[in-house]
């Protein structure tokens, strides 16, 4: 042959994504949270981080090491 072919193969892993509301009530072996955009309402941060049994099975991506946990105050009547 007048030319040489090379093939580069990237490893692919099966992965799933779901919303926090969909994950409520689930038990997961491993969980990753993408906190790049502050999209949490009250209680969702807890639900998202409590889906795994051990803290070592939770992977959190937060660009500056911070995120906003938005809490709305209830009007006392």
| pTM for the predicted model, two decimal places | 0.57
What residues contact residue 49 under an 8 Å CB cut-off, 6+ apart? 31, 33, 58, 60
Q: Is 58 a residue whose pLDDT tops 70?
A: yes
Tokens of 35: 């906190």
Length of the chain as a residue count: 77
For residue range 6-48, list pLDDT tens digits in order.
Answer: 888 888 888 778 887 777 788 888 888 888 876 666 677 788 8
């Amino acid at each position: 042959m007048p030319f040489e072919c090379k093939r580069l193969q990237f490893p692919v892993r099966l992965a799933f994504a779901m919303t926090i509301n969909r994950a409520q009530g689930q038990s997961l072996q491993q969980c990753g949270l993408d906190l790049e955009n502050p999209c949490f309402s009250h209680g969702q941060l807890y639900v998202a981080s409590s889906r795994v049994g051990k803290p070592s099975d939770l992977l959190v991506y937060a660009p500056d090491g911070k995120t906003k946990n938005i809490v709305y105050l209830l009007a006392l009547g």
